[in-house]
């Protein structure tokens, strides 16, 4: 007879490993299924990793996580053609305890999955889950691409990322619409440690994040990032897929453009591109989150659209959702009941947490970006803001009162008049 487990976790990203670890530690028999040769082999993110949620899962071990640099400064750049309006915050208080770090998924995912395996989860890697095995409306296992590769369990935790084959096979979500996902491309650029520390004003393991928007996304809704690792930089940009389709621009063409911007060019100069990759980011917000659990299953992380794209938080929502799903399965095991009734404990935990609260808070942002002209938001306004600040700082004998009028004029013209600007301000404020 087929061996049956308490739970199968599909996908060893942050969501899956958090779930597998939590259940294995509680003594459940758990399989951790991953299509990659090892967890993280092909995974990528920006990547900023947050301490709080990792510590909640691994209170004794989080300090050993393989991270790159602890972030002491976060910069936001509004890009003009050859300029930027910048805002940043640096604080020694971000060091102890660390608020967040940069990380590379190829190292982190492997380590995180190892914690689950050490706690007792059975790793099955290089194996693709092809569909869920069901009995009526109940999920009872997972079919894999291995010969005689059917696996059975009381519960399946779906953590297979943004494309979620299993979510689709279950019928709880469909192919994401092009306005619900961004396509991001990223390069890892090698640069000597000392150069990174000099250029970014850093000591030892300190790190900086830069997020940029504006001219760099070529009139499409997009966000770029430049993060410092130990001896590499992560440079990338994500753009809404519907805008990419409309403009017929290839993502690498945008990144090439980004690299030429004077604010970026100087920071990456002399670096050697080590890696290039692309990935989707779920950006549908709360309205795109599917049913979270059912008879014998829970869906977590990117597979359930649990990403706060306004704050570039995804890995922490993934980990926390994996932990909550695991706790629901642990309770189901205690009750001997893996039906939706018990597993909806997972939904409740999500609903009571920062995950739902944050995603609901920014629910309007998705609509705002969908409705507003991307050229206005990501091209004309940032350019106007740059002109306005140029005007402000330029000493050319023009009286300051006139300058202020001019600054306002730039913004007004970009938005098509005072009323247009006011309307946009109100809508933007509401969306936040
Ligand atoms: P994933 O990390 O995608 O893991 C899914 C796993 O499932 C993978 O290991 C995959 O190989 C495996 N898998 C998939 N299908 C199958 C199958 N059929 N069978 C077996 N295994 C399968 N978040 C942050 O917190 N900070 C950031 O700075 C940040 N920046 C980002 C930048 C970019 C460019 C991108 C793309 C994302 C970024 N995110 C960031 C988001 C973050 O990466 C995700 O939210 C997070 O990785 C989701 O974790 P997950 O475990 O749900 O999915």
Question: Tens digit of pLDDT for each residue in 111-161?
Answer: 999 999 999 999 999 999 999 999 999 999 999 999 989 999 999 999 999
The reply to whether 147 and 26 lie within a common domain is yes
Peptide bond connecting 428 to the previous residue in cis, omega within 30 degrees of 0: no
Q: Is residue 88 part of a domain?
A: no
Question: Using a 6 Å CB cutoff, which residues line ligand 1?
Answer: 10-16, 33-36, 39, 43-48, 128-129, 159-161, 165, 184, 186, 236, 238, 279, 281, 301-303, 307, 312-316, 318
Q: Whose CA is nearest to atom 47 of ligand 1?
A: 315
DSSP state of 41: T
Query: Residue 218's domain is classified under what CATH number?
Result: 3.30.9.10
Strand partners, 184: 238, 279
Q: Whose CA is nearest to atom 23 of ligand 1?
A: 314
Determine contact, residues 132/296, Cβ cutoff 8 Å: no
Last residue of a domain, one of 263, 282, 301: 282
Q: Whose CA is nearest to atom 38 of ligand 1?
A: 45
CA separation for the pair 219, 212 (Å, rounded): 13
Report the DSSP pairing between strands 122-124 and 30-33.
parallel
The reply to whether 141 and 52 lie within a common domain is yes
Token readout for 302 is 């990117």
DSSP alpha helix (H) spans, 35-170 = 51-57, 105-118, 165-170
**Model pLDDT, residue 289:** 94
Strand partners, 135: 138
Look at residue 427 and tell me whether its pLDDT is greater than 80: yes
Q: Which of these, 371, 216, 195, 189, lies nearest to 275 by C-alpha position? A: 189
The reply to whether 204 and 249 lie within a common domain is yes
Place of tokens 């494309």: 163
Q: Is residue 275 part of a domain?
A: yes
The reply to whether 326 and 291 lie within a common domain is yes
Look at residue 231 and tell me whether its pLDDT is greater than 80: yes
Contact partners, residue 205, CB within 8 Å, separation at least 6? 69, 70, 230
Last residue of a domain, one of 236, 258, 282: 282
Q: Whose CA is nearest to atom 15 of ligand 1?
A: 160
Neighbours of 280 (CB within 10 A): 17
The reply to whether 185 and 324 lie within a common domain is no
Q: How confident is the model at residue 382 (pLDDT cuts 50, 70, 90)?
A: very high
Q: Is residue 125 part of a domain?
A: yes
CA 302–ligand 1 middle distance (angstroms): 6
Contact partners, residue 44, CB within 8 Å, separation at least 6? 105, 186, 277, 279
Q: Is residue 293 part of a domain?
A: yes
Last residue of a domain, one of 244, 261, 282: 282
Which residue segment(s) compose the domain that 157 sits in?
4-66+103-176+286-361
The reply to whether 109 and 231 lie within a common domain is no
Q: Is residue 54 part of a domain?
A: yes
Contact partners, residue 425, CB within 8 Å, separation at least 6? none
Query: Residue 306's domain is classified under what CATH number?
Result: 3.50.50.60
Q: Is residue 91 part of a domain?
A: no
Q: What number does the ligand 1 atom closest to the CA of 48 have?
A: 28
Q: What is the CA radius of gyration of the chain?
A: 23
Q: Which of these, 295, 291, 297, lies nearest to 350 by C-alpha position? A: 291
Q: Where are the beta strands (DSSP E) in 35-178?
A: 48-50, 70-79, 84-90, 100-102, 122-124, 129-135, 138-144, 151-158
| Predicted interface score ipTM higher than 0.95 | yes
The reply to whether 272 and 392 lie within a common domain is no
CA 92–ligand 1 middle distance (angstroms): 30
CA separation for the pair 398, 16 (Å, rounded): 61
CA separation for the pair 207, 245 (Å, rounded): 35
CA separation for the pair 83, 169 (Å, rounded): 47
Report the DSSP pairing between strands 4-10 and 151-158.
parallel
CA 283–ligand 1 middle distance (angstroms): 13
CA separation for the pair 299, 325 (Å, rounded): 8
CA 315–ligand 1 middle distance (angstroms): 7
Q: How confident is the model at residue 1 (pLDDT cuts 50, 70, 90)?
A: low
Would you say the pTM of this structure is higher than 0.90? yes
The reply to whether 125 and 62 lie within a common domain is yes
CA 13–ligand 1 middle distance (angstroms): 6
Report the DSSP pairing between strands 122-124 and 70-79.
unpaired
**Model pLDDT, residue 366:** 85
The reply to whether 244 and 372 lie within a common domain is no
Mean of pLDDT over the chain: 95
**Model pLDDT, residue 337:** 98
The reply to whether 207 and 269 lie within a common domain is yes
Q: Is residue 73 part of a domain?
A: no
Q: Is residue 82 part of a domain?
A: no
Token readout for 323 is 């932990």
CA 364–ligand 1 middle distance (angstroms): 24
**Model pLDDT, residue 208:** 98
The reply to whether 206 and 273 lie within a common domain is yes
Domain count, the chain: 3
Strand partners, 122: 31
The reply to whether 291 and 148 lie within a common domain is yes
DSSP state of 171: T
Percent of the chain as helix, strand, coil, to the nearest 5:
45, 25, 30
CA 316–ligand 1 middle distance (angstroms): 11
Place of tokens 């739902």: 356
Percentage of residues of the chain with pLDDT beyond 70: 100
Q: Whose CA is nearest to atom 6 of ligand 1?
A: 11
Exposure b/e, 128-159, CB count within 10 A at least 16 = b: bbeebbbeeeebbbbebeeeeeebbbbbbbbb
Q: Whose CA is nearest to atom 16 of ligand 1?
A: 160
């Amino acid at each position: 007879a087929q061996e049956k487990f308490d739970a199968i976790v599909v996908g060893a990203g942050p969501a899956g490993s958090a779930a597998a670890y939590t259940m294995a530690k509680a003594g459940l028999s758990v399989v951790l299924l991953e299509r990659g040769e090892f967890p993280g082999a092909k995974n990528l993110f920006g990547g900023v990793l947050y301490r709080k949620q990792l510590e909640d899962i691994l209170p004794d071990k989080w300090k050993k996580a393989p991270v790159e640099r602890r972030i002491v400064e976060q910069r936001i750049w509004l890009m003009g053609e050859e300029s930027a309006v910048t805002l940043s915050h640096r604080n020694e208080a971000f060091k102890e305890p660390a608020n967040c770090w940069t990380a590379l998924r190829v190292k982190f995912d492997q380590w995180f999955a190892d914690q689950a395996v050490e706690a007792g989860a059975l790793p099955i890697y290089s194996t693709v889950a092809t569909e869920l095995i069901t009995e009526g409306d109940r999920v009872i296992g997972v079919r894999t691409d291995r010969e005689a590769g059917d696996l059975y369990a009381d519960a399946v935790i779906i953590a297979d990322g943004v494309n979620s084959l299993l979510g689709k096979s279950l019928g709880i979500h469909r192919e994401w619409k092009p306005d619900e996902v961004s396509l991001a491309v990223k390069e890892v650029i090698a640069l000597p440690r000392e150069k990174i520390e000099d250029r970014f004003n850093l000591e030892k393991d300190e790190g900086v994040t830069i997020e940029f928007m504006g001219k760099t996304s070529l009139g499409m809704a997009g966000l770029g990032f430049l993060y410092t690792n130990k001896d590499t930089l992560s440079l990338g940009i994500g753009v809404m897929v519907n805008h990419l389709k409309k403009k017929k621009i290839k993502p690498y063409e945008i990144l090439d453009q980004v690299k030429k911007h004077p604010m970026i060019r100087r920071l990456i100069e002399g670096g050697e591109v080590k890696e290039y990759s692309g990935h989707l980011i779920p950006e549908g917000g709360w309205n795109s989150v599917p049913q979270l659990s059912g008879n014998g299953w829970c869906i977590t992380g990117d597979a359930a659209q649990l990403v706060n794209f306004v704050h570039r938080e995804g890995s922490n929502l993934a980990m926390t959702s994996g932990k909550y799903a695991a706790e629901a399965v642990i309770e189901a095991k205690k009750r001997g009941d893996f039906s939706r009734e018990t597993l909806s404990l997972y939904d409740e935990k999500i609903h009571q947490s920062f995950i739902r609260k944050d995603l609901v808070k920014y629910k309007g942002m998705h609509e705002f970006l969908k409705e507003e002209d991307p050229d206005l938001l990501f091209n004309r306004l940032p350019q106007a803001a740059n002109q306005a600040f140029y005007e402000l700082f330029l000493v050319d004998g023009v009286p300051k009162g006139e300058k202020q009028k001019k600054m306002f004029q730039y913004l007004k013209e970009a938005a098509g008049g005072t009323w247009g600007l006011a309307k946009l301000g109100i809508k933007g404020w509401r969306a936040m």
